[in-house]
């Protein structure tokens, strides 16, 4: 039982990171119909920026409790600029091009960012300083530490904040309008370029947070870390119904749970025929299953309603 | 959502799957330094992952190889009466077996006289066939899988003990010296990790220990909490990981976070400063093995380490083995009086060379003769040698 509980906790922590990243995919898809494959790299850049600024701040003698929020803010700011630039330079000129063009460009941007990071931060792994006391809490035999609690709570808070922005504010209304119909929104006086830029910036800021969370949790940062994470988060977004914010959150958490329970129990359930080496396969198996059985995802709208 | 967007979604999925399969770090960084002069130009090919999660190890290999080549050029080696200039052709195999065969073919097309590589067993094994078909001698500094030299290629050599030798020592050490009764094993399903884990299991079971769990991960993973939790349920007293430092380090850390109290042991892939950096405080007490005797116990080992550190920074892992591999190859060329692969290959097969890692002699398969294995433990944030096991021929200097 305690093992089961531990797997649930593992899954929820991992899933909340997936969910945050998945929001970035889903927001951009909802508005532009574009899968921004560079999003995973934005997560990585966020982690790297936070790490660099944190090291610098601590070096200048800033207290850890001040340095941490400051470096996270810097990483968010840096990623917002990055997200804006990616959209402005790589996607906006292709907005009316065939759909294939921006998709391939997205992959190009991803490769460029990854190699840029390799040139700036090197090939080595960077260890992320441990600033939050890592005292483990025991819940019914399962272990959860402070960082994991913070990750889960913070992820939920940011998701809730995003829901408020999208559903309750003027900006959110503009975003929904652009998602619904760009031309109509433009005719109604919505500055669609501005809305799209802001969407990219919000998504990138969330990616930066996710990057810091991953780095703080595993205690490492590497120029390669965004790639698999990005693919998993994309899967989570599709699972929940891409373009749907609630779907991305649900998909992220579900994917985390599927992975940890799958990896934890498949060996025992199949008598060792399948093993935990299939952990990463679960994500992509889920992706294929969703696309075949329910292409619109769990919470996605039925195609007929909008086509 | 229109049908159109569903199509692009499907396409995106296909692209993402393809990406995950083939485009791991698409950038290919080849560094070729060719100086043309009147000298005889000899090309040494080298291949290791220069991008991706093991890029730090690949760069380390390249640096070790480069240093040996720079040394040889500075010395002004003469082969068969002609002064020789060595050129390094370094290629990125991305630790990917498919890419490795492409890289191998490219090195063959570049008419290299010999190859130092590859780093991983998974890449070395398929590449060996291509070198063998073209008669090009290959010395791997670090591939340990038994299968590499068991393919029967006359061109395949290694300057490192194989997994059978290393796994046997690790298994015995775990069961006998550390008294482990219930052992859990995790491996990364690469030719190296899987091979080492299998040999470890054989040896540990023969020494009286029980394998209570065998779980898996992969060589790009970061999160091991799920498999470690599954391991926790089996209540082992020792965990062996077959794989590299990039996973071993975080795994040791997550072990501690999950409050698993057990001994952690890994093979040569974990014996790096990177492992300690990634595991942090959780590295303390971890065990690892490394073929050969400690570098500072070897004649010339300390001098090599000092020069390397001054030039490239800390040694990650296999740089000294790469250095030796190049020097053995050059020594064979000198002995044969020719850099022609067909001519110096027989000389390489029965060479005796005092390297910085070991006294190098090959058996009929191309394996290192009498490979000693040293066990190390992290003490006070540093790898400290515990004892050298196996036939310690090399120490008799």
Q: Give A-chain residues touching B21 at CB under 8 angstroms.
A: none
User: What distance in Å separates residue A76's CA from the closest CA in chain B?
Assistant: 23
Report the pLDDT value the prediction gives residue B7, as an integer from 0 to 100: 61
B156-to-A21, B250, B348 alpha-carbon distances in Å: 46, 34, 10
Q: Is B6 in contact with A264 (Cβ distance < 8 A)?
A: no
B101-114 confidence digits (pLDDT tens): 999 999 999 999 99
CA nearest B318: which of B63, B88, B44?
Answer: B63
Q: What CATH class does A2-132+145-306 carry? A: mainly alpha
B47 has a pLDDT exceeding 80? yes
ipTM for the assembly:
0.87
Is the pLDDT at B184 greater than 60, yes or no? yes
Split at pLDDT 50, 70, 90, the class of B370 is confident
User: Which of B251, B287, B253 lies closest to B268 in space, CA to CA?
Assistant: B287
- Supply the pLDDT for residue B5: 60
Angle subtended at Cα B153 by Cα B149 and Cα B154, rounded to the nearest 5 degrees: 105
A305 — pLDDT class (breaks 50, 70, 90)? very low
Which band of pLDDT confidence, cut at 50, 70 and 90, is reported for residue B12?
low
First to last CA, chain A: 47
DSSP string, B294-346: -GGGSTTHHHHHHHHHHHH-S--SSHHHHHHHHHHHHHHHHHHT---HHHHHH
Tell whether B261 is within 8 A of chain A (Cβ): no
The interaxial angle of helices A245-269 and B225-232, nearest 10 deg, is: 40
Distance from CA of B291 to the nearest CA of A (A): 24
**B8, B53, B254 member nearest A222 (Cβ):** B53
pLDDT in tens, A82-104: 999 999 999 999 998 998 999 99
**CB atoms B280 and A219 under 8 Å:** yes
pLDDT single digits (tens) A135-154? 788 888 888 988 899 999 99
pLDDT at position B9, please? 63
Closest alpha carbon to A28 in A294, A215, A211, A230: A230
Is the pLDDT reported for residue B394 higher than 90? no
Residue B20 pLDDT greater than 60, yes or no: no
Cβ pair A14, A256 in contact under 8 A: yes
pLDDT higher than threshold 60 for residue B27: no
The span from the CA of B119 to the CA of B317, in Å, is 11
Where is mean pLDDT largest: A74-88, A172-186, A218-232, B283-297? A74-88
Rounded CA-CA distance B268/B121 in Å is 13
pLDDT recorded at residue B19: 54
Q: What pLDDT, on the 0 to 100 scale, is given for residue A301? A: 64
B38 — pLDDT class (breaks 50, 70, 90): low
Among A3, A13, A103, select the one facing B8 at the smallest CB separation.
A103
pLDDT at residue B49 greater than cutoff 70: yes
Alpha-carbon span A256 to A282, nearest angstrom: 10
pLDDT at B377: 96
By C-alpha distance, which of A29, A53, A49, A50 is closest to A39?
A: A29
Question: B34: pLDDT confidence band, cut at 50, 70 and 90?
Answer: very low
Please answer whether residues B266 and B286 qualify as being in contact, where contact means their C-beta atoms are separated by less than 8 angstroms: yes
Superfamily of B31-161+297-360 according to CATH: Response regulator (3.40.50.2300)
The answer to whether B138 and B127 are in contact (CB under 8 A) is yes
Least confident of A16-25, A235-244, A292-301, B356-365: A292-301
Q: Which of B200, B118, B119 is nearest to B167 (CA)?
A: B200
Which residue has better confidence, B253 or B21? Answer: B253
Q: Is-cis flag, bond preceding B118, omega within 30?
A: yes
> Is the per-residue pLDDT at A234 higher than 50?
yes
Q: What is the mean pLDDT of chain A?
A: 90
Mean pLDDT of A122-134: 83
Ranges of each domain in chain A: 2-132+145-306
Categorize the per-residue pLDDT at B28 as very low, low, confident or very high, splitting at 50, 70 and 90.
very low
Closest CA to A263 of A286, A285, A280, A287: A280
The pLDDT value given to residue B220: 86
The pLDDT score that the predictor gives to residue B11 is 63
Distance from CA of A164 to the nearest CA of B (A): 24
In the predicted structure, residue A8 carries a pLDDT above the cut 50: yes
pLDDT of residue B176: 94
Query: Does pLDDT of B395 surpass 50?
Result: no
**Confidence band of B52 (pLDDT split at 50, 70, 90):** confident
Q: Smallest Cα–Cα separation from A268: which of B214, B240, B260?
A: B214
Q: Which of B50, B52, B225 sits opposite A10 (nearest CB)?
A: B225
Contacts for B368 with CB less than 8 Å, ≥ 6 apart: B158, B159, B160, B161, B162, B291, B358, B360, B361, B362
Q: Which residues of B touch A127 (CB under 8 A)?
A: 277-278, 280
CA distance A107 to chain B (A): 9
Average pLDDT, chain B: 88
* CB < 8 Å to A114, chain B: 25, 27
Residue of A nearest to B278 (CA): A127
Q: How far is CA A138 from CA A5, A130, A133, B255, B282, in A?
A: 11, 20, 15, 15, 19
| CATH entry, B164-291+374-391, from 3.30.470.10, 3.40.50.2300, 3.40.50.620, 1.10.40.50 | 3.40.50.2300
Q: Residues with Cβ < 8 Å from B171, sequence gap 6 or more?
A: B199, B200, B201, B202, B203, B204, B205, B206, B207, B209
| Chain A environment of B249 (Cβ under 8 Å) | 125, 220
| pLDDT at B8 (0 to 100) | 64
Give the rounded percent of residues in chain B with a pLDDT score beyond 90: 72
Residues of chain B with pLDDT > 70: what percent?
A: 88
Give me the mean pLDDT over the A97-114 stretch.
93
Radius of gyration, CA atoms only, chain B: 22
Q: Which residues pair with B78 in a beta bridge?
A: B83
In a mutational test of the B interface, the residue from A3, A235, A264, A306 whose CB has the highest number of chain B CBs within 10 Å is: A264
For residue A87, what pLDDT is reported?
96
Q: Which of residues 115-154 of A touch B (CB under 8 A)?
A: 115, 118, 123-125, 127, 130, 134, 136, 138, 143, 145
More confident residue, B342 or B34: B342
For B194-221, what is the mean pLDDT?
A: 93
Distance CA B88, CA B32 (A): 6
Over residues A225-232, mean pLDDT: 92
Element (H, E) at B199: helix B191-206
Is residue A252 predicted with pLDDT exceeding 60? yes
Q: Does B1 touch chain A (CB under 8 A)?
A: yes
- Is residue B13 a contact partner of residue A291, using CB atoms and an 8 Å limit? yes
**Across A11-25, A268-282, B125-139, least confident range:** A268-282
Domain ranges of chain B: 31-161+297-360, 164-291+374-391
Among the partner-chain residues B20, B25, B229, the one whose CB lies closest to the CB of A7 is B229
For the segment B378-388, what is each residue's pLDDT rounded down to a tens digit?
999 999 999 88
Distance from CA of A10 to the nearest CA of B (A): 6
Angle, vertex CA B99, rays to CA B48 and CA B18, nearest 5:
130
Name residues 193-252 of chain A within 8 A of B (Cβ): 214, 218-220, 222, 224-225, 227-228, 231, 234-235, 238, 242-243
**What is the mean predicted confidence (pLDDT) over B388-393?**
62
Residue B178: CA count within 13 A, CB half-sphere:
30
B18 touches chain A (CB under 8 A): no
Q: Is residue B220 within 8 angstroms of chain A, CB to CB?
A: yes
Whether the pLDDT of residue A213 is over 90: the answer is yes
Closest by CA position to B78, among listed B116, B112, B40: B40
């Amino acid at each position: 039982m305690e093992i089961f509980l531990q797997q649930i906790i593992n899954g929820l922590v991992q899933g909340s990171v997936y969910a945050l990243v998945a929001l970035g995919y889903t927001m951009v898809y909802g508005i532009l119909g574009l899968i921004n494959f560079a999003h995973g790299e934005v997560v990585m850049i966020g982690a790297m920026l936070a790490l660099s600024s944190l090291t610098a701040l601590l070096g200048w003698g800033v207290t850890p409790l001040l340095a941490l929020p400051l470096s996270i803010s810097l990483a968010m700011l840096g990623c917002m600029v990055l997200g804006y630039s990616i959209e402005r330079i790589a996607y906006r000129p292709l907005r009316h091009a065939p759909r294939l063009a921006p998709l391939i460009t997205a992959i190009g941007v991803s490769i460029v960012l990854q190699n840029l990071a390799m040139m700036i931060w090197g090939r080595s792994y960077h260890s992320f300083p441990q600033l939050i006391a890592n005292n483990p809490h025991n819940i019914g035999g399962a272990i959860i530490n402070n960082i994991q609690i913070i990750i889960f709570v913070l992820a939920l808070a940011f998701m809730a904040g995003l829901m408020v922005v999208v559903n309750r504010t003027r900006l959110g209304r503009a975003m929904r309008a652009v998602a619904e119909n760009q031309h109509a929104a433009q005719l109604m006086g919505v500055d669609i370029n501005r809305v799209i830029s802001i969407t990219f910036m919000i998504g990138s800021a969330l990616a930066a947070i996710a990057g810091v969370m991953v780095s703080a949790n595993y205690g490492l940062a590497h120029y390669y870390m965004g790639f698999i994470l990005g693919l998993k988060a994309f899967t989570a977004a599709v699972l929940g119904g891409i373009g749907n914010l609630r779907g991305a959150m649900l998909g992220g958490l579900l994917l985390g749970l599927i992975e940890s329970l799958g990896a934890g129990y498949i060996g025992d359930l199949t008598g060792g025929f399948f093993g935990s080496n299939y952990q990463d396969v679960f994500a992509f198996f889920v992706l294929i299953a969703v696309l075949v059985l329910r292409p619109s995802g769990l919470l996605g709208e039925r195609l007929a309603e909008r086509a | 959502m229109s049908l159109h967007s569903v199509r692009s979604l499907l396409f995106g999925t296909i692209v993402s799957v393809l990406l995950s399969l083939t485009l791991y770090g698409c950038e290919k960084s080849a560094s070729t330094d060719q100086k043309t002069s009147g000298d005889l130009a000899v090309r040494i090919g080298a291949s290791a992952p220069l991008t991706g999660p093991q890029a730090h190890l690949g760069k380390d290999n390249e640096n070790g190889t480069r240093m040996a080549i720079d040394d040889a050029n500075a010395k002004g080696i003469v082969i068969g009466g002609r002064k020789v200039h060595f050129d390094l052709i370094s290629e990125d195999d991305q630790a990917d077996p498919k890419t490795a065969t492409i890289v191998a073919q490219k090195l063959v097309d570049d008419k290299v006289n010999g190859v130092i590589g590859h780093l991983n067993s998974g890449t070395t094994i398929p590449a060996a066939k291509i070198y063998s078909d073209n008669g090009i001698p290959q010395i791997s500094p670090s591939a340990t899988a038994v299968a590499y030299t068991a393919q029967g290629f006359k061109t395949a050599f290694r300057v490192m003990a194989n997994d059978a030798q290393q796994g046997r020592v690790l298994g015995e050490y775990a069961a006998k010296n550390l008294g482990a009764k219930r052992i859990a094993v995790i491996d990364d399903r690469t030719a190296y990790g899987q091979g080492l884990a299998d040999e470890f299991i054989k040896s540990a079971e023969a020494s009286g220990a029980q394998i209570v769990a065998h779980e898996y991960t992969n060589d790009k993973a970061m999160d091991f909490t799920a498999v470690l939790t599954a391991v926790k349920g089996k209540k082992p007293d020792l965990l062996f990981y077959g794989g590299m430092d990039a996973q071993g380090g975080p795994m040791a850390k997550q072990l501690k976070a999950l409050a698993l109290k057990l001994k952690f042991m890994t093979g040569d892939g974990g014996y790096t400063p990177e492992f300690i950096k990634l595991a942090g405080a959780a590295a303390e007490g971890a065990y690892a093995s490394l073929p050969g005797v400690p570098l500072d116990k070897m004649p010339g080992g300390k001098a090599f380490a000092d020069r390397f550190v001054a030039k490239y920074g800390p040694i990650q892992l296999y740089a000294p083995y790469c250095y030796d591999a190049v020097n053995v190859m050059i020594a064979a060329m000198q002995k044969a009086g020719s850099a022609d692969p067909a001519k110096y290959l027989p000389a390489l097969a029965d060479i005796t060379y005092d390297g910085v890692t070991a006294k190098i002699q090959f058996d009929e398969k191309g394996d290192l003769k009498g490979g000693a294995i040293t066990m190390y433990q992290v003490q006070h944030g540093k790898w400290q040698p515990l004892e050298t096991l196996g036939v310690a021929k090399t120490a008799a200097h």
